[in-house]
Structure formats: C-alpha cells, structure tokens
Amino acid sequence: MQIRFTKMQGAGNDFVVLDETRERLGLTPAQYRFLADRHFGVGADQILTVRPSPAEGIDFEYLIHNADGGQVQQCGNGARCFARYVRDKGLTAKDRIRVQTMAGVIAPELTADGRVTVDMGRPVLDPARLPFDTAGLVPVPQGSVKKWPLALDGQAPQATVMIVAVSMGNPHAVQLVDDVDSAPVARTGPLIEGHPRFPQRVNAGYLQVVGRTEVRLRVYERGAGETLACGTGACAAVVAGIGLGLLDARVDVHTRGGLLTIAWAGGLQDPVFMTGPATTVFEGQIDIPETP
Ligand SMILES: N[C@H](CCC[C@H](N)C(=O)O)C(=O)O
C-alpha cells in the first residue's frame, strides 16, 4: 500500500504524520512499527494520525502510536507538530484548535514567535488513579507529593529508585538525579519502563534541578526508548518538581533536543501549559508491505 506522510520533529522528538481526514488507512501495529523503523521504514519515535472532528466543538481527533506499534493516550511534542501540520496543510484556518485524544481534549495554539503552546490538561498525581500498583509500598512524603520506592531487579546490588508517579493522560515515573549526563538511563530506563508495578508500562523521567525555574531532563519513553525530548515527560517532571517544593510555576526544561517551557499553577484543577518548537522536516511517500 502506497501512502503519503509528513516527517516532523518537536525538540528532536520525531514523528511520521498521517492524514486520515478523508479516508482511513487501516494500518496494523506491525505497519506502524515498519513506518517507525529507522532502517527499513521512515524512522520515528511516534506515528501521529490526523482524523476529522469527532464531535461538536472539537476540531480534530489525534491518534498516537509508539515506535513499538502500541497506541497510547498522549504525546506532547506531537501535539505541537499536529497543530503546525493541520494549519500548514490548510485543514484549518485556526491558530488555536481543540483536539480529542485518548486522554481527553487538549488545545494547541500557534504563537506569534513561531512556537506552539499547548494546554495539556490537568495532571494526575493520585496513585490510585494511575496504572501504578502501590500495594505494600511505603511512600516518602515531600511537599505535596509522595515519592515511591521502586526496586529494580536484576541489579547487583538490587537498586531502589524513589519515583514520583504522574499522569498527563499517559503514565510517568519521575526521579531526581544530580546530573542527567551521567544518569544510568540506558541501564535503568528499560527496567523502570517494564516494571511489574506499572501494568501498562511507564515513561521513565530523569530530572536534574538546576534552579527553581530551570531543569534538565532525559526520558526513557515507553514504547520508544530514550528520545531527545518528551513533551508529556517535561510536563510530568515539572509537576513532580513543583509538588516536591523544588520549582516555581514556570520552568525552562532543557532536553537533549531543545528547550521546552512548562507552566503549572500548582492546583490539581489547574492545566499544564507546554510551549516549544514544531518543525516540518520533509514530505514523502512509502510503500508499506501488507505484512512487514
Ligand atoms: N512514549 C509515550 C508517548 C509519547 C510521548 C512523548 N513523545 C511526548 O512528547 O509526550 C507513552 O508511551 O506514553
């Protein structure tokens, strides 16, 4: 099957964008994996799909598939690219749109400086509302949040990391580190991502607090491995940092792929706002095998 796609990136988190506003492609998980494959396909961290409005007051539906082919609830860097895509393709004349995701409605807005700001909705900090099995764990309270011990099996000696569990529609386990560059992301990221306490798996964030308005972040993403940036991961990390009493309400997040700015007023009813870049890299077409 021959399909057209647009390659985009937001702070180095890269995407294949597919237009299903006129017809559905009916792709399988294996075909999403093929598109994301950096040797046999196009190459991407996630595949983003644009679909028509599902309801009154909503402009588009937004689907997200990780490189491993699994569909997930939310993608923040992808939301900025989504807004840029639909505007540039003439699918909307609006600068601010409302988009339905599996995690609810988000609102990206193209800003005058060429970046995109997204109302990412409210964070969820209550472990009882997260796909996180806390049975038998004893949390350590700090500020307005709890840090939970996560024993990483397979390590000698067995390591335990203290994480803050945050959902931005998708699950994140955020830990504080002294220096992101020396953080054991490659070794412990997969152990956290696949930890049995997270039955839906989890995105693993490594947060270095530089100051009350500046942090550095690396994320080992569920279904994609370490990416150059993770938008929902940046939101989750800042929410965790504010909850721990370490950050102010507006924070610059330095990722390996670029700068994201996250703002959260600190109340559980308050939305998280993410601002950052969204760039079209190239247009293309590719022949997808029926059974890759
Ligand atoms: N790996 C994530 C989805 C993509 C999130 C990330 N690319 C972002 O910008 O938020 C998950 O499985 O929940």
274 alpha carbon to ligand 1 midpoint, in Å?
A: 14
Closest Cα partner for 63 from 76, 72, 54?
72
C-alpha triplet 239, 257, 213: angle, nearest 5°: 35
- DSSP, residue by residue, 79-125: HHHHHHHHHHTTS---SB--EEETTEEEEEEE-TTS-EEEE----B-
pLDDT for the residue numbered 128: 87
Q: Would you call the peptide bond into 184 cis, given omega within 30 degrees of 0 as the criterion? A: no
Task: In whole angstroms, give the CA distance from residue 59 to residue 63.
Answer: 14
User: In tens digits, what is the pLDDT along the chain, a chain of 292 residues?
Assistant: 999 999 999 999 999 999 999 999 999 999 999 999 999 999 999 999 999 999 999 999 999 999 999 999 999 999 999 999 999 999 999 999 999 999 999 999 999 999 999 999 999 998 889 999 999 999 999 999 999 999 998 665 668 999 999 999 999 999 999 999 999 999 999 999 999 999 999 999 999 999 999 999 999 999 999 999 999 999 999 999 999 999 999 999 999 999 999 999 999 999 999 999 999 999 999 999 999 9
Pocket residues for ligand 1 (CB within 6 Å)?
13, 45-46, 66, 72, 75-78, 170, 203, 221-224, 227, 230-233
Could you tell me if 163 and 174 are in contact, meaning their C-beta atoms sit under 8 angstroms apart?
A: yes
In this structure, the dihedral spanned by the alpha carbons of residues 137, 141, 146 and 148, taken in order and rounded to 10 degrees, is: -30
Minimum CA distance residue for ligand 1 atom 5? 75
The CA–CA distances, whole Å, from 114 to 32, 43, 48, 179, 273 equal 30, 25, 21, 31, 16
Domain architecture of the chain: domains with CATH: 2-119+278-287 (3.10.310.10), 127-270 (3.10.310.10)
Task: In whole angstroms, give the CA distance from residue 253 to residue 81.
Answer: 18
Closest Cα partner for 156 from 191, 182, 183?
191
Environment class of residue 290 by beta-carbon count within 10 Å: exposed (0-12), middle (13-18) or buried (19+)?
exposed
Mutating to test ligand 1, I would choose from 47, 203, 262 the residue with most ligand atoms within 8 A of its C-beta, which is 203
pLDDT for the residue numbered 153: 80
Q: For residue 224, which atom of ligand 1 is closest to its CA?
A: 1
* Per annotation, catalytic residue among 230, 234, 239, 288: 230
Task: In whole angstroms, give the CA distance from residue 132 to residue 163.
Answer: 11
Mutating to test ligand 1, I would choose from 219, 220, 221 the residue with most ligand atoms within 8 A of its C-beta, which is 221
Kindly report the backbone phi and psi dihedral angles of residue 30, in degrees, each rounded to the nearest multiple of 5, phi listed first.
-65, -35
